[in-house]
Amino acid sequence: MEVRKLKKQLATLLLTFIFCFTTVIPGFAADSAVPMADKIGAMEKMLYGTEQSGSLLQRMDSLEDDVYGTITSDAIINRVDNMYCLLYTSPSPRD
């Protein structure tokens, strides 16, 4: 009886792990497929109509200042991902 219960618990744990791995991990990998420079360029095209010149840091500072009215001090990768997610997951006025 104990062995059967242990097998059932192990099977449940394994299935839970497989479920989490196949549903959560691809979500993290999806955003990393787009390079940071491409994300900044896409956001600039959306906001300004064209990509801007300058370093990625300067361009991100400009985007944040124009969108948020301030420049955050987070790591640039986090800043880019946060704004990219905000701009590309928010409903458009047409929706």
Share of the chain above pLDDT 70, in %: 68
Average pLDDT, the chain: 78
Region for residue 72 given its phi and psi (left: phi exceeds 0; alpha: psi -120 to 50; beta: otherwise) = beta
The pLDDT assigned to 22 comes to 57
Q: Decide if pLDDT at 27 tops 60.
A: no
The confidence band for 1, taking pLDDT boundaries of 50, 70 and 90, is low
Tell me whether residue 47 is exposed, middle or buried, using C-beta atoms within 10 angstroms of its C-beta: 0 to 12, 13 to 18, 19 or more: middle
Q: What is the mean pLDDT of residues 75-85?
A: 89
| Interatomic CA distance for residues 41 and 24, integer angstroms | 27
